[in-house]
Amino acid sequence: MGMFSVGKKSAPIGLDIGTNLFRAVQLAPGSPKPQLINYGSIKVPVGAVVEGEIVDVEAAGYALSQLWKTAGFTSKNVIIGIASQRVVVRLVGMPYMDQSELAGAIQFQAQDYIPIPVEEAIIDAQIVSEYLGENEEKMMEVLLVAAQRDMVNNTVSAVEQAGLKPQIIDLSAFAIVRSLLADDSFFLSEEGAEEETAVSAAALINISSGLTNIVVVEQGVPRFARVTPLAGNDLTQAIADSLGLTFDEAEELKTKVGLPEIGGEQLPVPSDLPDNLKIHVEAAQSIMENQVGHFIAEIRRSLDYYLTQATQIRNITRLVITGSGAKLNNFGAYIERGLQAKVEIGAPLNQVQPSPKIPPDMLADDELSLAVSLGLALRSFQ
């Protein structure tokens, strides 16, 4: 900031590096909640991002500069969210030390826990809890995050090439937690005060086009995170492949029809569906049912893995879904049945006060897709 600049420095903008879209959210201070003043997205150039990682820095950088131009953001500072199967998140037990000691110690110990060579990794570690070990010695649980240095460098380069200033690199997974963590009560059971002291876990699942993020939180603290490439595009692609339709046609079937109601009557074919697609409704639905079965199995594997490590939690009874993929008709009911857990649709906008300048209809439509970018922007308000 220059010497004579006036006014508050703008808060950094949350930037979600997706595989299909780059999305950004700008918040401003507000009371009682931060104000959502602007958001926007731009299509990722074909091939520039592969499974969450920027591989074409030039093309990605150009797209980001276009996004800033068209959306008219008033800050160049950004908090970047990354999501990739190659980012490792592990909960590990270590002898107790304080956070400053941990920063040094982790460099030596991380190799035991991560598959990436330490020299090639950027490592971060946060103390999550303290406990007593077998011999009554003080121990701590640490959430270890390791990302391939190349991946992070590419992301930073693309952002810088767009003339932006990266402030923080975060995980999309942690952003989702922030955007759903309305208040602590959200993560406590509603069954009355007695239960509220018991530890409970919730799984947050963000389904976008190219990747799905799965995070498990206990009392609002993330303890497990995984990324799977099984996401919205797979549903569309499966319909397109099986029925010999274009991707766009399959997308239209998916979004307008969705899954059939469980045990319910077949609903009338949506009238806004083009005639050439109407004949495919039933076939598309059974393809979607099948795909959703795979998806649920994938989620179950992740949650089971988490449960083998969890000490106080025996099952996950609560799931919150976000990402536009969560809009699939009847999806929640299928997940509830498949995982025997209560499913809610997340509401990231509860965290903010939207500016009256943003058309409410548009915002309501986009809400689920903003979970990551909004959660990133929230980081500087906590």
Ligand X SMILES: Nc1ncnc2c1ncn2[C@@H]1O[C@H](COP(=O)(O)OP(=O)(O)OP(=O)(O)O)[C@@H](O)[C@H]1O
Q: Per CB under 5 A, does 18 bind Mg ion? A: yes
**Is residue 19 a contact residue for ligand X (CB under 6 A)?**
yes
Nearest distance in Å: CB 348, ligand X:
11
DSSP 3-state assignment of 46?
coil
- Residue 45 buriedness (CB in 10 A; 0-12 / 13-18 / 19+): middle
Q: Which is nearer to ligand X, 29 or 359 (CB)?
A: 359
CA atoms within 13 A of residue 223's CA, in its CB half-sphere: 26
Nearer Cβ to ligand X (142/370)? 370
- Interaction between residue 81 and Mg ion (CB under 5 A): no
Q: Which stretch binds ligand X (CB under 6 A): 150-158, 176-184, 203-211, 291-299?
A: 203-211
- By C-alpha distance, which of 208, 199, 201, 136 is closest to 172? 208
Instruction: Choose the contact partner of 178 out of ligand X, Mg ion, none; CB within 5 to 8 A by kind.
Output: none
Task: Give yes or no for residue 349 binding ligand X (CB under 6 A).
Answer: no
CA distance 18 to 80: 11
- Residue 149 near residue 116 (C-beta atoms within 8 A): no
User: Closer CB to Mg ion, residue 154 or residue 172?
Assistant: 172
Three-state SS at 121: strand
Token pair of 332 as six digits: 């929640």
Our finding on whether 249 is near ligand X (CB under 6 A) is: no
Among the residue ranges 53-61, 145-153, 325-333, 341-349, the one whose residues contact ligand X (CB under 6 A): 325-333
The Cα 23–Cα 20 span in angstroms is 10
- Hey, what are 338's tokens? 């498949």
Identity of the residue, 18 or 348, whose beta carbon is nearer to Mg ion in the bound complex: 18
- Only segment of 60-68, 101-109, 130-138, 209-217 that touches ligand X (CB under 6 A): 209-217
Residue 325 is a binding residue for ligand X (CB under 6 A) = yes
Torsion of CA 374, 377, 380, 381, to 10 degrees: -40
DSSP helix/strand/coil, 13: strand
- Pull the structure tokens for residue 202: 């919730």
Interface positions, 204-263, toward Mg ion (CB under 5 A): 208
Separation in Å, CA 246 to CA 238, 239, 243, 272: 11, 9, 9, 18
Chain positions 20 to 59 lying near ligand X, rule: CB under 6 A, are: 20-21, 23
Among 12, 18, 34, 40, binds ligand X (CB under 6 A): 18
SS3 sequence of 74-113: CCCEEEEEECCCCCEEEEEEEECCCHHHHHHHHHHHHHHC
CA-CA distance, 368 to 331, in Å (whole number)?
Answer: 14
Q: Cβ 322 to ligand X, closest distance in Å?
A: 8
The reply to whether 14 sits near Mg ion by the rule CB under 5 A is no
Size of the site for ligand X (CB under 6 A): 22
Task: State whether residue 357 is helix, strand or coil.
Answer: coil
**Sheet of strand 35-43: strand arrangement:** 165-171, 77-82, 13-17, 21-28, 35-43, 353-354
Please pick, from the candidates 15, 151, 211, 339, the single residue that binds ligand X as defined by CB under 6 A.
211
Tell me how far, at minimum, the Cβ of 24 lies from ligand X, in Å: 11
x-marked contacts with ligand X along 54-93 as a string, rule CB under 6 A: ----------------------------------------
**Minimum CB distance to Mg ion, residue 141 (Å):** 30
How far is it, in rounded angstroms, from Cα 130 to Cα 107? 20
Among 12, 14, 210, 348, binds ligand X (CB under 6 A): 210
> Where on the chain is the footprint of ligand X (CB under 6 A)?
18-21, 23, 208-211, 232-233, 236, 251, 254-255, 258, 323-325, 327-328, 369
> Where on the chain is the footprint of Mg ion (CB under 5 A)?
18, 208
